[in-house]
Structure 1
Amino acid sequence: MAGPRLFFERKCQIWGWILFIASALLYGAASIRAGDLLGILGSLFFLVACFVFLIPFIFPVRPD
């Protein structure tokens, strides 16, 4: 029964990354509103890192 469990784990991971992306966007918006350049840069780096971690979900590696 590895199929349903694997599907559930992937679904939870994707939802987790969606929440991380949402928090990076909100953190960035708050930093822009406050005029905090360091906060803006930090939120942009965090947002890019979230998308980098999502690459394996978008382009899965097929076992040969």
Structure 2
Amino acid sequence: MFSFFKSNPTKKLTKRHSMLLEQAMQAQRRGDIKTYSLLTAEAEEIFAQIKTINSPDKNS
């Protein structure tokens, strides 16, 4: 009934993912490749979580 009060679990993850990609881009521009690779790897993990949450369970 009050589904609009429920929080969207992917909204926070999507925001974090975007922020990490932005930080990674800035690190790459500065020439800090190590930080760039760490931030990109973390962003990929978050994207995998988002993908898992959004994918419907086909078995149930």
Number of matched residues? Answer: 60
What's the TM-score once normalised by structure 2's chain length? 0.76
Percent of aligned pairs with the same amino acid: 13
Offset at residue 32 of structure 1 (A) = 0.9
Offset at residue 63 of structure 1 (A) = 6.2
Segments of structure 1 that go 5 or more residues without pairing to the other structure are none
What's the TM-score once normalised by structure 1's chain length? 0.72
The counterpart of 2:6, out of the listed 5, 8, 13, is 8
Question: Is residue 43 of structure 1 aligned with residue 39 of structure 2?
Answer: yes
Greater relative contact order (Cα < 8 A, sep 6+): 2
Q: Distance in 2 between matches of 1:57 and 1:36?
A: 32
Question: Is residue 22 of structure 1 aligned with residue 21 of structure 2?
Answer: no
The question of whether the paired residues in 1 share the 8 Å contact of 2:14 and 2:50 is answered with no
Structure with a larger share of its residues in helix? 1
Runs of 4 or more, structure 1, over 3 Å off, are none
Q: Distance in 1 between matches of 2:28 and 2:10?
A: 27
Segments of structure 2 that go 5 or more residues without pairing to the other structure are none
